[in-house]
Structure 1
Amino acid sequence: MLAAAKHDFVVVTEHLPVDPVLDGSEPVRWRASHSGVNAALHSIVARRHGTWIGWHGLNDRHVGRLRWDGISLQPVPMPVVDVADHLGGHCETSLAPLYHDGVEPPQFDRRWRQAYRRVNDRYSHAVAGIAAPGATVWVHDYHLQLVPAMLRGLRPDLLIGFFLHVPFPPVELFEKLPQRQEILGGLLGADLIGFQSRRSSANFWQAVTEFGEYRMDADVVHPDGRRVSIGVFPASVDAVDFERRARDPLTRRRAAEIRAELGKPRTILLAVDHLEPAKGIEQRLDAYHELLAEGRLDPTTTLLIQVAVPGRQHGLDRPDAWTRVERKVAQINGLYSWITRPAVHFLHQALVPRELVAFYLAADVMLATPLRAGMNVTAKEYVACRTDNTGTLVLSEGSGTAAGFPEAITVNPYDVDALKAAILSAIEPANPGRRRVEMRAMRRRLHEHDVHRWAAEYLHALSNTTTRPSPDVSTVNG
């Protein structure tokens, strides 16, 4: 028997928006995670008085329902074997590399796929047990691609949406996935599947055409007589919240302190990424190194801050990627640092929100140049913080964000020469006044299409996708 249903709006993500404080305290204390996705969804759940389902970050431990910062959290337990095989194995080592253009070769394992099914089934039952009759359920990202179909089997009365935050790969890559039919079937259990970009939507459409036998028309797929809509909904950030933080006198004072601590350089370049090959850190360092070697940048007046945010790494270690980045940073600093300042400041840490905003304010140029990304959170956060319309954004063509910011300097991140030219153009603009106009335009568009509008547009589209069967108490309660 399923537990009594209670909630009309349920958000489902791999991880809850909180992390446990591992200091031995009982009961466990919690702190907000700094995930861009979680921060964006928090206000949406709060506004709709919904509940949030996800893993709590503690292996082999049951944790009851929580209240955190005004929202209801429903933790899903995960055995340590599934943390390793589902998250570390299938999600981080099979799916993530494949979905980011195969920058890293994906690895496949039957045991990992079995864990992926178990975890998706566990989440599906958790949702089925607390969703009210006819509730709206919004499932997120590649960790939970089987949940829509599994949940539909348990609760056909629900309105189910799915949103993929990472890119969906081209069919030439997706066809390598041993689980490709199961993934497609899982996603098509939703009423609406949302993507960050038209390219991802087109890639999914081609995969359905290539590997499925479904009736299709316009932007709708018809599996088993149902209607599944496909849409593009570029995600965003809470622009008002970031602007409020940026206007805080304490934050602005901290930004000035950062510049002073760095020796008051003429130009600060900033990049904030997870330490993963798909983020393009190595290519960015190569471009910066060559500009210094050619004498086109002066290390006494220009410096690069590279923040490498530690992720929730549950998978195979990536010592090669870490070693390559470390070696490049050491080489640049060994050749071009001067006595009071390194040429590259490499920070392998997560910055608290106020400190991160201070870094955005201190930086003259933001280098958001991943090789492939869905929505580049840091690019939008930087724009939101530039309240005086200064600053320049260099943005990868491989990011879904590029389509929404045509005023940014866009670049092919694989092309080191193009990346060098983009950096120089950002530092020495031909028309400085024009840059303010462009930043103002990006800021205006960001406020018009912030996280709240993203959610509203997606959920409005979801509510208009299909006519559902009337809730059946016998179905809902088992």
Structure 2
Amino acid sequence: MSRADLVVVANRLPVDRVVSEGGESWRRSPGGLVTALEPVMRKPDRAWVGWAGQPDLDIAPFDFEGARLVPVALSASEIEQYYEGFANGTIWPLYHDVIAAPLYKRRWWEVYVQVNRRFAQAAADVVEQGGVVWVQDYQLQLVPKMLRELRPDITIGYFHHIPFPAYGLYSQLPWRRQVLEGLLGADVIGFQRQADAGNFQRSVRRVLRYTTRSSEVVVPSAEGEPRVAIAKAYPISIDADAFIRLAQDPDVQARATEIREQLGSPKTILLGVDRLDYTKGIRHRLKAFGELLEDGRLSVGDATLVQVASPSRQRVDAYAELRDEIELTVGRINGDYDTMHHTAIRYLHQGFPREEMVALYLAADVMLVTALRDGMNLVAKEYVASRIDNSGVLLLSEFAGAADELTSALLVNPHDIDGMKDLIMRAVEMSPGEQSRRMRALRRRVLDHDVEDWSQDFLTDIEKVRRVRRGA
């Protein structure tokens, strides 16, 4: 098998398997990571290592749109314990400020180690001599160190797409030392926010007693001279031009008009777009909107909330319970305030193609992003990119990574329900002039720093390390 100069390692391959009467085929996945890395994968000598999305599927590497895809087989038991268990039952809640209680199960950890080793071996087998491996996200935090042990000739990057918690929370993790050592196998470790990089460095100092300075971590080496790893923020972004093109499409614009009409042509459409996850603040948003209706500050005839909640981790108990709670709340609010002609909340528990999402962005007067904790939240940037006439208001949680960049949004503490209600009313009543001023500033930031800039910034630092190593 030919080797690749750059190998991406992620939990999932960038494709979905489709089985029909005509046989088996593959189609590109719609996920944000796939979109973010698409400019990187367009170039020659690229490979992607990941799980194919179905249990017990053992297939050989294959080519897709010019890239070599290397599937990693996982059993149903491994998916349950490595992915649903340790990754999403332990790491996800711990790293999101313990909004839900993390579970610390030794068997989950053992399988996590086992699966990470399999991913590392697959990457080691496909990367060429002196090449680069770029590991993605919290499911694979041990892979960098494992790779360094297998292939000391290569340069390793790791990007952490979710928050990294403060030491007081991180210290709960029974395997805190092993995870930090795993991450520090990378030469460049990227985070969404500078605060996350700072949290990581503090944990390194407290747990491992390693020296940190600025964006550098001094990693001792048994072979002699210590190695310096870079740990800093590289805020991820979107393909802004793709959203602008869709927003300019007459068919998408016509669909936006149709959506408004189907909702009864309310004066104001508020929109929430999230995975169905307890970190997204959907319950807080619904509570604030319901109280505004109860207080008489909003009326169903004038305002409608559209809530898109795409299915997520449906086999995990916390997510099933969240869905039940949200749907009960939506039903209660609609039962209290719906009329024969208007619905208070249009709730959609499903995903939509990008064209429909852009139509929703164009139809919405106010975008509500009320995450309790979020690495970045690209929905906020997608909404901004789609508002080509500079209208609309973004209400954005200060606990989302996007708040560091999108400072012209209305920034909200989602835990403060009264404060959120006041900001929603400010958004609803905002003058066209103020909308335009704020949206122009937001769009300037999103357009000036797109997803290609993100990947280029990260890979530039990787290349600096690689050049130094080659010169040594």
Residue type of the partner of 1:198? Q
Letter in 1 for 2:5: D
What is the aligned partner in structure 1 of residue 330 from structure 2? Answer: 329
| Match status 1:303 vs 2:304 | yes
The equivalent residue for 2:441 is 441
Q: Are 2:44 and 1:43 equivalent residues in the alignment? A: no
* Letter matched to residue 432 of structure 2: P
Q: Relative to structure 1, is the Cα distance of residues 26 and 124 closer, same or farther in structure 2, using a 3 angstrom cutoff?
A: farther
CA deviation string 1:385-427 (max 9, x = no partner): 1111111100000001001011000000111111111111111
- Aligned counterparts of 1:32 and 1:337: Cα–Cα separation in 2: 40
1:10-409 superposed matches below 5 A:
10-21=7-18, 23=19, 25=21, 27-47=23-43, 49-223=45-219, 224=221, 225-313=226-314, 315-316=316-317, 318-409=319-410
SS in 1 for 2:34: helix
Contact 2:44-2:66 at 8 Å conserved across structures: no
The answer for the alignment partner of 2:451 in structure 1 is 451
- Alpha-carbon shift at residue 309 of structure 1 (Å): 0.8
Structure 1 position 321, deviation (Å): 1.4
Shift of 1:94: 0.4
Partner of 1:11, secondary structure, is strand
Matches of 2:85 and 2:350, distance apart in 1: 24
Which is bigger in relative contact order (C-alpha 8 A, separation at least 6)? 1
Quick one: structure 1 residues 102 and 129, their matched pair in 2 at CA, closer, same or farther if it must change by over 3 Å?
same
Aligned identity (percent) is 42
In structure 2, relative to structure 1, the CA distance for the partners of 1:443 and 1:243 (3 Å cut) is: same
The equivalent residue for 1:460 is: 460
1:8 aligns to 2:9 (yes or no)? no
Deviations 1:214-238 (A, max 9, x none): 2333321121211111111100000
Deviation at 1:54, TM superposition (A): 0.9
Alignment-mate amino acid for residue 3 of structure 2: K
1:49 CA drift (Å): 4.7
Deviation of the 1:468 alpha carbon: 5.9
Deviation at 1:79, TM superposition (A): 1.2
Residue segments in structure 2 that go unaligned for 5+ positions in a row: none
Whether contact under 8 Å (1:265, 1:302) holds in the other structure is yes
Cα deviation, residue 72, structure 1: 2.9
Match in the other structure for 1:475: none
Contact 1:101–1:372 (CA under 8 A) maintained in structure 2: yes
Letter in 1 for 2:275: H
Distance between the aligned counterparts of 2:90 and 2:447, measured in 1?
A: 36
Could you tell me how far apart the structure 1 residues matched to 2:313 and 2:66 are? 25
Segment drifting more, 360-369 vs 42-51: 42-51
Moved more, 206-215 or 148-157: 206-215
Letter in 2 for 1:166: I
1:235 aligned counterpart, secondary structure: coil
Q: CA deviation at 1:343?
A: 0.6
Q: Distance in 1 between matches of 2:320 and 2:213?
A: 47
CA distance in 2, matches of 1:131, 1:413: 44
Quick one: distance in 1 between partners of 2:305 and 2:27? 30
SS in 2 for 1:278: coil
Gaps of 5+ in 1: 472-478
Cα offsets for 1:73-99 (capped at 9, x unmatched): 221111111111000100111000011
**Normalised by the size of structure 1, how large is the TM-score?**
0.94
Change (3 A) 1:63 1:26: farther
Instruction: Compare 64-73 and 95-104 and name the one that shifted more.
Output: 64-73
Shift of 1:269: 0.5
Question: CA deviation digits over 1:129-155, x for unaligned, max 9?
Answer: 110111111111100000000000000
Which residue identity does 1:245 align to in structure 2? L
1:210 alignment partner, SS class: helix
Contact 1:12 1:137 in 2 (8 A): yes
CA deviation profile, 1:42-80 (whole Å, cap 9, x unmatched): 222113551211111111111222333443322111111
Contact 1:215 1:222 in 2 (8 A): yes
Q: Distance in 2 between matches of 1:344 and 1:33?
A: 29
CA–CA distance in 2 between the matches of 1:405 and 1:470? 39
1:415 is the counterpart of 2:413: no
Question: Which residue matches 1:474?
Answer: none
TM-score scaled by length of structure 2: 0.95
Deviations 1:157-201 (A, max 9, x none): 111011100000111110111111110000000001111001111
The Cα of 1:108 is off from its aligned counterpart by 1.3
Whether the 8 Å contact between 2:44 and 2:67 is mirrored in structure 1 is no
User: Structure 1: which amino acid aligns with 2:424?
Assistant: I
Q: Secondary structure at the match of 2:339?
A: coil
Contact 2:288–2:420 under 8 Å retained in 1 = yes
Q: Distance in 1 between matches of 2:44 and 2:454?
A: 15
Give 3-state SS (helix, strand or coil) of 1:63's partner.
coil
Partner amino acid, structure 2, of 1:260: E
Is this contact kept in 2: 1:6–1:130, CA < 8 A? yes
RMSD across aligned positions (CA): 1.6
Is 1:432 paired with 2:429? Answer: no
Report if the CA contact (8 A) 2:263-2:343 is conserved.
Answer: no
> Does the CA-based 8 Å contact 1:162-1:187 persist in structure 2?
yes
Would the aligned equivalents of 2:278 and 2:319 in 1 still touch at CA under 8 Å?
no
Structure 2: how far apart are the matches of 1:286 and 1:450?
Answer: 34
Q: Distance in 2 between matches of 1:302 and 1:209?
A: 51
